[in-house]
């Protein structure tokens, strides 16, 4: 009994002595996830209004990072109520069945100069694919801003099924850009 009590006290003491990171939180008002697709060769810009991030990241120990995102697909906006009404349908995002897209990191690799490579799994519309996303970090005050972009192949995720699978109408490549403001990230 005394051994168990002593071990418990030592473990609690070690946990309390370990450096604690401030809770890392997304600042939605300073963050954005946007995309550009091409319809009949013309760029069409959109963005998602609702998303969240779960981040545990120390720039000095990127291999220990855990990064997760959830994007509410029904929050996509393209500036046209008619187009937005189409996006929720089964041919596009099918939001009644698949309301969210998710990303879960598998590894983070430091590239130097505040640049990182984040590998993980992106799931949209019931389909999961491995992606590698370049990320650049900057810090000002208590805020860390992560920016980056990558190209998504919409047909790999069954976005634009049926007649919309014709890439002469809507291009297969979709450029995704993000700017994510986070608090609680240790100094670079």
pLDDT one-digit tens code per residue, 175-187:
999 999 999 999 9
Bridge partners (DSSP) of residue 157 are: none
CATH superfamily ID and name for 22-183? Lipid/polyisoprenoid-binding, YceI-like (2.40.128.110)
- Rounded to the nearest integer, the mean pLDDT of the chain is 89
Q: How far is CA 131 from CA 19, 146, 151, in A?
A: 32, 17, 9
Record the pTM: 0.85
Collapsing DSSP to helix, strand or coil, 159 comes out as: coil
For the chain, the domains span 22-183
Taking each continuous run of H as one helix and of E as one strand, the counts in the chain are: 2, 11
Mean of the pLDDT values across residues 140-152?
A: 96
């Amino acid at each position: 009994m005394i051994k168990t009590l002593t071990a418990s006290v030592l473990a609690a003491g070690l946990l309390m002595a370990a450096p604690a990171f401030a809770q890392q939180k997304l600042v939605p008002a300073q963050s954005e996830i946007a995309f550009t697709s091409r319809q009949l060769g013309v760029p069409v810009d959109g963005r998602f209004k609702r998303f969240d991030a779960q981040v545990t990241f120390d720039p000095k120990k990127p291999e220990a990072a855990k990064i997760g995102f959830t994007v509410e697909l029904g929050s996509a906006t393209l500036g046209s109520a008619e187009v937005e009404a189409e996006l929720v349908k089964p041919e596009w995002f099918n939001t009644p069945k698949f309301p969210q897209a998710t990303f879960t990191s598998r590894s983070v690799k430091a590239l130097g100069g505040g640049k990182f490579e984040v590998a993980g799994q992106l799931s949209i519309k019931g389909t999961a694919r491995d992606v590698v996303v370049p990320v650049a970090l900057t810090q000002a005050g208590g805020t860390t801003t992560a920016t980056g972009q990558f190209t998504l192949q919409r047909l790999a995720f069954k976005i634009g099924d049926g007649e919309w699978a014709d890439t002469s109408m809507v291009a297969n490549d979709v450029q995704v850009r993000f700017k994510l403001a986070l608090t609680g990230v240790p100094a670079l």
